[in-house]
Amino acid sequence: MNQLDQLRQYTTVVADTADFTQIGRFAPRDATTNPSLILRALQQADHARLLDEALARCKGKPVDAVVDTVLVRFGVEILKVVPGRVSTEVDARLSFDTAATIARAHRLVALYERAGVARERVLIKVAATWEGIQAARALEHDGIGCNLTLLFSLAQAVACADAGVTLISPFVGRIYDWHKAAAGAAWDEAAHAGANDPGVRTVERIWTYYKHFDVATEVMGASFRNVGQVAALAGCDLLTIAPELLAQLQASDAPLPRRLDPEAARRAPVHALTYNEPAWRWALNADEMACAKLAEGIRLFAADAARLDAMVEARR
C-alpha cells in the first residue's frame, strides 16, 4: 500500500482545501475550508462562477450574506465529492463575540439545509477563543456540530472538551513555525523532526489527554508543513492534509506505522485539568506560543475575510 492508504488504517483522512476539483483523487472522508482557502480557490476561473451565482441569488443583500452564500456553495460542491462532512468557518472578525458567532453559525446551517444538506454533514469552524468555545457550547446544544480551530494549547483543548464540541483542530505547522522562529540560528531541524516536532508533540499531548479521560471530542491534526509531521501523528482520530501533501503520501510506498496508541494513552500519567474563565485566560496568557499564534491566526483569517468582502463589492 502507498502511505496514504497505510494512514487510512489508523486515521480518518480529511482534505484541507476548497478546491473541490482536486479532492476526488485522494478519496478523503471529510474536507475542511477556511477564508484563505476559499479566497485562493476563487482565483481560478472554474471556481469564480460560485461567486457569480451567490451574487445573483443575493441581490440587494449585505456583503456578509453574499460571503456566507459563497462559503456554503463551496461546501455543497465539496459534499458532492466527499461522503462525510465539510467544515465551514464563521468570520474570524467575530472571534470575540459569542452571540454574533452563534447567529452566523445558525445562518450558515440554514443555508446548507435550504440547499438540501443535513446539518449532520456540516461542522461550523470557530476560533478557539473563550468566546468562541462558549458559542460552540451553545451550538452543540442546538444540534450544530463544531470544529474549534486556531487551537495551539492543552488549555484550549480542555475547555473545548468541557464544552462538548464535536472536533478540535490543533495546528501542527504553526506551532512548529513559532518554535523555529523563536530558536533562530540555534534551531536544529533534524533534532526537531518527527515525534520531536513541537507541533506534533502538542497534538500528541492533547490526544493523549482526551484518550486517557475518554473525551468524546475528536482530535484532527491540521496545518502540516511536511509529510514527516503527518506520519508522526498516524493514529490520531483525523488529520486534515493539503492536496500537495496528500499527493506525496500517495506517491510513496515507504512504511508508515501507527504512532499514537490509545491503550498507551490510557496508561499514561495524566492529570485532569479544569478551568473557569479567569483561570483559562491566565493559562492561555502564560503560554507565549499559543497566545501569539491564536492572535496572529485571527488577524490573518480576518484579513482574508476582508479581502473576500472586497472581492464581492468589486463584482456587484
Report the chain's C-alpha Rg in angstroms: 19
Is 75 in contact with 124 (CB distance < 8 Å)?
Answer: no
User: Whole-angstrom Cα distance, residue 99 to residue 212?
Assistant: 33
Is 12 in contact with 85 (CB distance < 8 Å)?
Answer: no
Q: Quick one: how far is CA 312 from the chain centroid? A: 24
User: Whole-angstrom Cα distance, residue 244 to residue 36?
Assistant: 16
Q: Where are the alpha helices (DSSP H) in 243-287?
A: 243-251, 262-267, 277-286
Q: Where are the alpha helices (DSSP H) in 146-273?
A: 154-163, 172-183, 198-212, 227-232, 243-251, 262-267
Handedness of CA 165, 171, 175, 181 (dihedral sign): negative
> Which three three-digit cell numbers place residue 115?
440547499
- Half-sphere exposure at residue 69, Cβ-oriented, CA atoms within 13 angstroms: 19
Q: Which residues are catalytic?
A: 125
